[in-house]
Amino acid sequence: MDSKTQVQILAQKIKKELGELIDGDYIFLDLPYYTNIGDTLIWKGTEDFLISAGKTCVYRSSIETYIKPTISKDTVILLQGGGNFGDIWRRHTDFVLEILKDFPENKVIILPQTVHYKSIEVLKSDALQMSQHQNLYICARDTKTFDLVTQYFKVKGVLLLPDMAFCIDQSFLDRYKVKSVDKILFFKRKDVEKADYEFDKYIQEQDVDVREWPSMDKNLLASRLIILLSICRKRLPFKMFFKKLTDWYAIHIYMPFLLRIGIRFISSYNKVYSTRLHGAILSVLLDKSVVFFDNSYGKNSSFYKSWLQEVDTVHFISKTE
């Protein structure tokens, strides 16, 4: 199957199944005000999907700028999807638990997530706390996560849905993509999710750029400004003002900036080797040839098996090959 067809199939699946759940105005929380463009692609896809859903957003925030809003019991609470549900990126799951306690009667939807726990005790504790909420829906981003959530989390509903980035409007991608050059990208993550491969065994081309997301360059002015706003919120008076200013800057300036440089980055290459999930997803969205490696705990392989193994331009390399 070609990539464009699969992208359309996945986007329609999200619109049909998730669209039916969002039956009122909503708040959208845990927005990614940081340098990971992958999470920003999820955010953009969610926003484009929500436009088509036809409901009104009454409040948006990140974890850091969150101020408990006054909302009716009919307001739907949406929590950003991604790969941070579990005990690796702990602050995100702790925030979910906080929201569930603050809003015990509202419909809460955790958007498509990969769930991973190193500790079975922490998993059981989180599952017990979340299962006490009477109106919680968890969207699993792959079949492995779906099975795990179904087994441990006794919630109102569990959906199997792909990553929200597949809902990004194609015209937006077309606006920022550039003409590719005859070069190859090795998109190599460097954080705690990095995988152990003998990459030289699989990447044999000579002219290869080894890169991370360009947004992770600490000298970028836009990223330095978001850090400066964070410092101001913590150290200066008028914290409410700086929280609102951070929300405005992140939504209207920082998110569009990250998306623009991310799309230009991937679109400039003919072929992509990627250890990052959204390096592969954005490559598929831009109809690139991509060779996909796993991360440290199997997130990428689970996602590939769930949604991408029928795509002609995607080749996955397991650790056993």
Cα gap 76→105, rounded to integer Å: 10
- 3-state DSSP helix/strand/coil percent for the chain, to nearest 5? 45, 15, 35
Q: What is the pLDDT of residue 56?
A: 93
Spatial CA neighbour of 75 closest among 29, 42, 13: 29
Beta strands 184-187; 157-160: pairing state: unpaired
Cα gap 27→68, rounded to integer Å: 11
Cα gap 131→119, rounded to integer Å: 18
Q: What is the pLDDT of residue 195?
A: 82
Spatial CA neighbour of 268 closest among 256, 257, 282: 282
* Mean pLDDT split into 10-residue runs, the chain, 321 residues: 94 95 95 94 97 91 93 97 92 96 97 96 96 97 97 96 97 93 89 83 88 82 76 71 89 95 95 95 96 90 95 88 58
- List CB contacts of 289: < 8 A, sequence separation 6 or more: 270, 271, 272, 283, 313
Instruction: Give the length of the chain.
Output: 321
Distances from the Cα of 76 to the Cαs of 15, 56, 84, in angstroms? 16, 10, 21
